[in-house]
Amino acid sequence: MVEVSDNKVLIPANAPAREAVERALRNDGWQSVAYGDAHEAEDVLSAGAAAAVVLPELSEQPNRVEVIKVVRRLCPDAFVVGIGDGDGDASADAVLRSGATPQELAVAVAAGRSVREARSAERALREKLRAVEEQMRAQAERIREVEDQCLKLRVWAKNAEELAIRDELTDLYNRRQFMRAADNELDRARRDQSSFAVAMLDIDHFKTYNDAYGHVKGDEMLAQFARVLEKNTRRMDTVARYGGEEFILLLPETREAGKVNLDPISVVERLRQAIERDPILNGPNKVDAPITISAGVVRFPADGRTGTVLEMIQEVDSRLFRAKHAGRNRICASPE
């Protein structure tokens, strides 16, 4: 589209009283350019466009329609003035009655300047709105991309955190997470004068089982063993794989038998029995030696010699060893 001239007006070469019309337009600051037909109008508009175009008389209807087409194509912001009523004026912006004076035509052209400016402002506004909408769409897309990346990062971080605190084979907590939980529980017990216990379990004759059936079956047995532990402990308990076939439990809010809270020895005994009765570990069709556990239990603050988590683990490991030495498939909760 060519740039619009602010003061150029196209008028038909055969317009009635053309000289008077041109004089009236010059008095208002317009530069008039005459054209004979649509082709001449196209040449003029291609060279420099115009602010307004006066259409030919209605008697030249075909030429009049072609002129309108040329104007709308090359100079859509130009103000189109038609003279006389009738068909063909529907595309004109203003229609003056037949016999309008040159001064009336000049006034109509002047009014067209405001219309053209309004059109230009409207188009600029639409373009700005489109640019703003495009920016908003782009921004929304960037926000969605950032949100998607943040979600992926949160999922990745959660998975990484779970991997850092979980045992890969059994999906129980690992030793590091157990130590963290036990340290927190010891601090809480000292602060609130509450009690807790630590129990260490070892699968009896696991090496023999592993050697007889292979590592794959051994891993399957460890995974099922972990599910039995989870099923028979409380949600508040921490169940972890300590290493190999050794598992360790943190049992908050436990006291000796006869008190309000649970007796940790009774809790571990129920675990021992649950493992013996588990239909997968020790089903009715199982013909080899049953899967059993030996366990040690240490209580805080009942076992006063245990002042740190490490000391409690050392002591519970010692009791576990005594349980195995005494014949396995039993619990040791005494210091000697």
CATH number reported for the structural domain that contains residue 272 in this entry: 3.30.70.270
* Of 85, 103, 123, the domain-final residue: 123
Q: Has residue 2 got a pLDDT over 50?
A: no
Q: What is the mean pLDDT of residues 76-95?
A: 73
Burial 239-268 (b: 16+ CB within 10 A, else e): bbbbeebbbbbbbbbbbeeeeeebbbbebb
| Residue 282 confidence (pLDDT) | 84
* Of 81, 103, 123, the domain-final residue: 123
Q: 190 and 311 share a domain? A: yes
Rounded CA gap, 181 and 175, in Å? 10
Residue 106's domain spans which residues? 8-123
pLDDT digits (tens, 9 = 90+) for 42-80: 998 888 878 888 888 776 778 888 998 998 888 888 888
Q: Name the band, by pLDDT with cuts 50, 70 and 90, for residue 274.
A: very high
> Which amino acid is present at 210?
N
| Residue 286 confidence (pLDDT) | 57
Q: 182 and 109 share a domain? A: no
Q: 290 and 186 share a domain? A: yes
- Around Cβ 101, how many Cβ atoms within 10 Å? 13
Residue 130 within a domain: no
Q: 104 and 206 share a domain? A: no
Residue 165 within a domain: no
| Residue 3 confidence (pLDDT) | 47
State which H helix or E strand residue 12 sits in.
strand 8-12
Say whether 245 is catalytic.
Answer: yes
Q: What is the mean pLDDT of residues 184-211?
A: 92
Q: 118 and 180 share a domain? A: no
pLDDT digits (tens, 9 = 90+) for 239-262: 999 999 999 999 998 865 445 457
Residue 132 within a domain: no
Q: 240 and 103 share a domain? A: no
Q: Name the band, by pLDDT with cuts 50, 70 and 90, for residue 22.
A: confident
Cβ-Cβ contacts under 8 Å for 88 (sequence gap 6 or more): 55, 58, 61, 64, 65, 68, 82
Terminal Cα-to-Cα distance of the chain (whole angstroms): 102
3-state secondary structure 153-194: HHHHHHHHHHHHHECCCCCCECHHHHHHHHHHHHHHHHHHCC
- Around Cβ 201, how many Cβ atoms within 10 Å? 27
Residue 167 within a domain: no
Q: Catalytic residue among 22, 42, 185, 245, which?
A: 245
- Around Cβ 310, how many Cβ atoms within 10 Å? 12
pLDDT digits (tens, 9 = 90+) for 301-311: 888 666 799 99
Residue 113 within a domain: yes
| Residue 76 confidence (pLDDT) | 83
Q: Has residue 268 got a pLDDT over 80?
A: yes
Token pair for 187: 């601090």
Please state, in angstroms and as integers, the Cα–Cα distance from residue 179 to each residue in 85, 166, 185, 249, 309, following that order: 97, 13, 10, 11, 7
Q: 83 and 214 share a domain? A: no
Phi, psi for 20 (deg, rounded to 5): -65, -40
